[in-house]
Chain A
Amino acid sequence: EVQLVESGGGLVQPGGSLRLSCAASGFTFSSYWMHWVRQVPGKGLMWVSRINNDGSSTDYADSVKGRFTISRDNTKNTLYLQLNTLRAEDTAVYYCARDQAVVRGYDFDYWGQGTLVTVSS
């Protein structure tokens, strides 16, 4: 069974940093692109970042470029998102999601349960 489990969320002050993790199981992690998507409670979904299967290529939404860094450790089956210079508007639930790009196209077939990041003083 495919599972994605996020962790690392919490309360952080504006300007602070946080590292999110997403532990993957039930599939060959190193074969899939992975993403982070966020959602302000009660609002819509926003794509944050994508990494290809071997970690050699990344993309970011303009609003997080230069502040967030996506990475992965295929030996640990874990995806990461380093969040730096956090702002109040980064407050959201952060989901990791698996991309089917390698197989069929750019959709997200499995999602984690999400981890809440709150940026507040």
Chain B
Amino acid sequence: DIQMTQSPSTLSASVGDRVTITCRASQSISSWLAWYQQKPGKAPKLLIYKASSLESGVPSRFSGSGSGTEFTLTISSLQPDDFATYYCQQYNSHSYSFGQGTELEVK
């Protein structure tokens, strides 16, 4: 099974900061990588699919990049609503898995 490792586990930042979260796969997953945002008590929300495609309705300050085994989610200018937990998710050969999550907290 493919393991997904996110870093950092916790990220402290301020409104207006540019932040980057990294997700590494234990083997190549091409571009089958998605990013989600989750707030307490809520279901995850899709932000990015196929590594770099922005989901409809998601603000353009969110962007994704990468392929193969290394991927990044970037928020260009943090807004108050962005403080949440972020997960990457991969697909490969009939199996899916998530990273352990990155909690983005107020500095």
Contact = CB atoms under 8 A, between A and B. Distances in A.
B43 A47 contact: no
Interface in B65-107: 87, 89, 91, 94-101
A114 B94 CA distance: 23
B72 to A, nearest CB: 17
B44 interface: yes
A26 interface: no
A45 B98 CA distance: 6
A108 B44 contact: yes
A106 B91 contact: yes
A113 B43 contact: yes
B43 A111 contact: yes
Contact of A95 (B43, B97, B99): B43
Sort A-B residue pairs by CB-CB distance and give the 3 closest, nearest first. Answer: A106-B91, A111-B43, A107-B34
29 contacts: A37-B98, A44-B87, A44-B99, A45-B36, A45-B87, A45-B89, A47-B95, A47-B96, A47-B98, A61-B95, A62-B1, A95-B44, A104-B49, A104-B50, A104-B53, A105-B31, A105-B32, A106-B32, A106-B91, A106-B96, A107-B46, A107-B49, A107-B50, A108-B34, A108-B44, A108-B89, A109-B55, A111-B44, A114-B43
